[in-house]
Structure 1
Amino acid sequence: MEPDWQDRAFHHHIATLIDALDGPDFWTRATRVIERFVAFDNWVALVFVRDRAPLVCAESPMPDGTVDLLFRAYLEGMYQLDPFYINACERPRAGLITLAEVAPDNFRMTDYYQRYFKSNIIGDEVQFNVPLDARRTLIFSLGAKHHYTERDVAQFAMFAPWVIALMRQRLAYEPGVAADEAAGAPQSDAVAERAAAEVLELDYARRFEAVTQQSGRTPLTAREVEVVRQSLSGFSTRAIAERLEISFETVRAHKKHIYAKLGVSSQSELFALFYEPNGREGG
């Protein structure tokens, strides 16, 4: 329906949402208000953390009441390839974030997109982001089987101020999400971004080291780990070269060495090795 700021029902819903701030159904009520104006198919409230798996605040239930196995796989490791997660770690900011803003140039060609995003979210996604400290961002994600129109995105942007304000207020009632005292004093943007990149690389390095040790493969160097991370996330060879400030040919050489060390011959095999349990067997 078209928004009508004289619509008493809308104001009633906002009032009940405010009343629900300290209750278990806050996130569900928030989705009910928004879906009056924009259609979406799934939602989740998470806290992105740079050096560990996201914390789940609430998620949309499966239609048949079963466990969402794809979402479990996401929490077990594939979140590392999520463009929203990567963006929140590298450049945290409050506001509405769209997939078009954060997706790498080759995102739709990745195994992450084909095996998780396309199957679980299907078409499009937006997130409302609230950075909590130097390491964590509270996010409220709305996914759709269709692509959001310009009108849809404009509607989300119109709602962003009150959605984000309520998300900030909700923090006091989310177990385990209170301000992290270990986060330390505020950092400059440059220092914070550098620290974020270092922690994100360490997160990948730990995972890749564990997998290579388990499978008996040759360990990767820190630079090779970073090339794998960006490649699996959807950055093209040229984009990786620009991001790492190295030449196109150097990136290609790194990829050749990576494939030889790990005994793989394709991007899909590389993805399977690090993100699918069966892919680690055999080598």
Structure 2
Amino acid sequence: MEPDWQDRAFHHHIATLIDALDGPDFWTRMTRVIERFIAFDNWVALVFIRDRAPLVCAESPMPDGTVDLLFRAYLEGMYQLDPFYINACERPRAGLVTLAEVAPDNFRMTDYYQRYFKSNIIGDEVQFNHPLDARRTLIISLGAKHHYTERDIAMFAMFAPWVMALLRQRLPYEPLTAPQAAEADAGMPQSEAVAASEAAPGARDVDYASRFEAVARQSGRTALTAREIEVVRQSLSGFSTRAIAERLQISFETVRAHKKHIYAKLGVSSQSELFALFYEQNGREGA
């Protein structure tokens, strides 16, 4: 069958995208090719790292040129509640990942959804994931103010082979180590540089357990046990009591008991107070 002009235009855009693989505008060009066929409102390219803040490869600019404060808050800690981040760390896999696939059962009831996701992304999100190793995944996220239709998801799935191929080819041109360790790692092989940056005392963030312990200690509250910290994190992420019980392989009543002890130790009475304590600067300062 003879290709029409739209097919030829698409192949032209893919060719220019391949030419831009080693350039600073690669991510912008990729999103422009995709948005010719599927509407979305924001995008970001990141490296998810287990127990560390994501590394930013590129992000869509704010319409007025200002700094996206919500995204800064995400990088400072709220990424720990992101269902895409959690899924990439727990079950890394390559390809298209949709919000419907990874969102916990109570996701839309969480403070993370109401205060960050709904305000920053608003409607829906998909990601293309390329695992680099057991701890790191290169992703490009496409967020929309509306919910993606079945056609949209089908188009994303159809684009996945060439998007994934380009992600793999882009790797040599991305800084995959934390900025703070860049000078110290200069001249090291990439694998050694990554290990050094993640082990460095000045690494960009700490795992959620250390974060929770530090906040409890600084506010003079009773420290939580490792299991209680896990229950808090999963609860704030949007997993229901029953889902937490299944994930931790404990009983429903045991999870309820953990929650009761957590609230008593921390002196809080709601999920919103828990969220404010661990993920809002004002909540931590006023605690």
Partner of 1:44: 44
Does residue 31 (structure 1) correspond to residue 35 (structure 2)? The answer is no
Does residue 227 (structure 1) correspond to residue 238 (structure 2)? The answer is no
Aligned-residue offset at 1:26: 0.1
* Counterpart amino acid of residue 260 in structure 2: K
- Residues 4/151 of structure 1: CA separation in 2 closer, same or farther (3 Å cut): farther
Partner of 1:189: none
Q: Give the aligned CA root-mean-square deviation in angstroms.
A: 1.7
* Counterpart amino acid of residue 127 in structure 1: Q
Matches within 5 A, 1:175-214: 175-176=175-176, 180-181=191-192, 203-214=207-218
Is residue 48–residue 139 contact of structure 2 (8 Å, CA) maintained in 1? yes
Q: For residues 95-150 of structure 1, give each alpha carbon's deviation from its aligned partner in whole angstroms, at most 9, with x where no partner exists.
A: 00000000000000000000000000000000000000111000000000000000
Range with greater deviation from structure 2 (45-54 or 171-180) = 171-180
* Counterpart amino acid of residue 239 in structure 2: F
- Residues 4/59 of structure 1: CA separation in 2 closer, same or farther (3 Å cut): farther
Is residue 47–residue 176 contact of structure 2 (8 Å, CA) maintained in 1? no
Partner of 2:163: 163
Partner of 1:107: 107
Task: Give % identity.
Answer: 90
Partner of 2:200: none
> Aligned residues, how many?
264
- Residues 113/4 of structure 1: CA separation in 2 closer, same or farther (3 Å cut): farther
- Residues 101/47 of structure 1: CA separation in 2 closer, same or farther (3 Å cut): same
Aligned-residue offset at 1:20: 0.2
* Counterpart amino acid of residue 169 in structure 2: Q
SS of match in other structure, 1:155:
helix
Which consecutive residues of structure 2, in runs of 5 or more, have no partner in the other structure?
178-188, 196-205
* Counterpart amino acid of residue 227 in structure 1: V
Aligned-residue offset at 1:281: 3.0
Matches within 5 A, 1:1-283: 7-176=7-176, 180-181=191-192, 203-283=207-287
Aligned-residue offset at 1:4: 6.2
* Counterpart amino acid of residue 267 in structure 2: G
Which consecutive residues of structure 1, in runs of 5 or more, have no partner in the other structure?
185-201
Is residue 135–residue 183 contact of structure 1 (8 Å, CA) maintained in 2? no
Aligned-residue offset at 1:22: 0.3
Is residue 241–residue 251 contact of structure 1 (8 Å, CA) maintained in 2? yes
Aligned-residue offset at 1:156: 0.2
Is residue 176–residue 194 contact of structure 2 (8 Å, CA) maintained in 1? no
Normalised TM-score (structure 1): 0.90
State how far apart, in whole Å, the 2-side matches of 1:281 and 1:170 are: 41
- Residues 149/4 of structure 1: CA separation in 2 closer, same or farther (3 Å cut): farther
State how far apart, in whole Å, the 1-side matches of 2:133 and 2:222 are: 37
Range with greater deviation from structure 2 (202-211 or 42-51) = 202-211
Partner of 2:198: none
State how far apart, in whole Å, the 2-side matches of 1:4 and 1:211 are: 60
SS of match in other structure, 1:180:
helix
Aligned-residue offset at 1:6: 5.5
Aligned-residue offset at 1:9: 1.5
- Residues 163/4 of structure 1: CA separation in 2 closer, same or farther (3 Å cut): farther
* Counterpart amino acid of residue 257 in structure 1: H
Partner of 2:181: none
State how far apart, in whole Å, the 1-side matches of 2:210 and 2:159 are: 39
